[in-house]
Amino acid sequence: MANVVILGAGVMGTAFSFPLADNGHQIRLVGTHLDGDIIEEIHESGRHPRLGSTVAASVTPYTYDRLGEVIVGADMVVLGVNSLGVDWAALMLGDVLSSVPAQIPVVLLTKGLVGDERGLHILPYALRAGLPAAQRSRISLAAIGGPSIAGELAERRDTCVVVTGEDEALLPHLANLLRTPYYHVWPNADFAGVEVCVAMKNIYALAVGLVGGFLERDGQGGNGAVMHNLAAGIFAQGLWEMAYLVEKMGGKRRSVFTLPGAGDLYVTSMGGRNSRMGRLLGLGMTYSQAKRERMPDDTIEGAQLAQAIGPAVERMVDAGELEGDALPLMRTMIDIVCHDAPAEIPWDAFFAQ
């Protein structure tokens, strides 16, 4: 049995507690400063209000101000905040890591990349950079990647993921802690490749989502034809570009064409906030208008990532560090999100590299 602290009581952080609980582990679910209502509801009824599921008896909810006492005795920390919460999480963890054993695994469910004047970086390294210098070597970074809808995981539907990290020897142990008859976990030592895939899938799922708006705008064909061909072309170009970027960032193409890339892009394209925003853009709304008028309170992961890395990508293209011709769809989505460009697919630029 392991003692696991999950920081972040959103739907994915909480869903992750289900396989852990089913394996006999003790889970301390710590809400962020934004999760107060969720923690209160779980404390009172045992039910997560957004996930719609009752957590196991081995899951104990806590407010974030108790992290210091909760983390004592932990064998693993799981980070379930969104990408905008990573700096906050680093601040919180930096104050308490001295209470845990050195090299404690910190497993990120959070997806994203960071762009700055030095280039693009995977999110786990951004977490480490946000810690006090004395604490950075005390953690062993790991992450989960692959197609995983929180509601399905909480219902114990079959789910296939990989666990990756900087310590290859640790990965089989982490996989064994997590694996259940329904939660299928494989070790994958391609830390950079997995993290690039699970982040970039959000931008490309936003692109696939455009097709819903195009279809609604143009209507079905006279024979009832829809636009699956168009969506498949965008999907394929997304994987093509993902492979280019993975290799540029030191990863392996195999991750693109397995669970972290193709698998995660498929499930993310099937619905959710990226798809809803994509539909609005495909209908002809600008991003700023759609966000302001239709989805003001929603986190759009693909748009969030475009804003986070867009300036760095353009600087890298200008500097010759990235080939612009290799990333036409990503650059189009950055223009749509960051500059309110119209949603037009650059077909003639596809599959050029």
Q: How many residues are there in the chain?
A: 353
Asked if residue 161 has pLDDT above 90, the reply is yes
> Where exactly are the structural domains of the chain?
3-189, 192-349
pLDDT tens track for 15-72? 999 999 999 999 999 999 999 999 999 999 999 999 999 999 999 999 999 999 999 9
Residues contacting residue 180 through CB under 8 Å, at least 6 positions apart = 19, 22, 23, 156
pTM: 0.96
**In angstroms, rounded to a whole number, what is the distance separating the alpha carbons of residues 236 and 257?**
11
Q: What is the mean pLDDT of the chain?
A: 97
Work out the end-to-end distance of the chain between its first and last CA atoms, rounded to an integer number of angstroms: 49
Residue-level pLDDT at 352: 86
**In angstroms, rounded to a whole number, what is the distance separating the alpha carbons of residues 202 and 153?**
19
What is the topology classification, in CATH, of domain 192-349?
Answer: N-(1-d-carboxylethyl)-l-norvaline Dehydrogenase; domain 2 (1.10.1040)
CATH class belonging to 3-189: alpha beta
User: Closest Cα to residue 308, out of 85, 128, 109, 112?
Assistant: 112
Asked if residue 353 has pLDDT above 80, the reply is no
- Per the CB < 8 A criterion, the answer to whether 61 and 39 are in contact is yes
pLDDT, average across residues 90-114: 94
DSSP state of 261: I
Asked if residue 196 has pLDDT above 80, the reply is yes
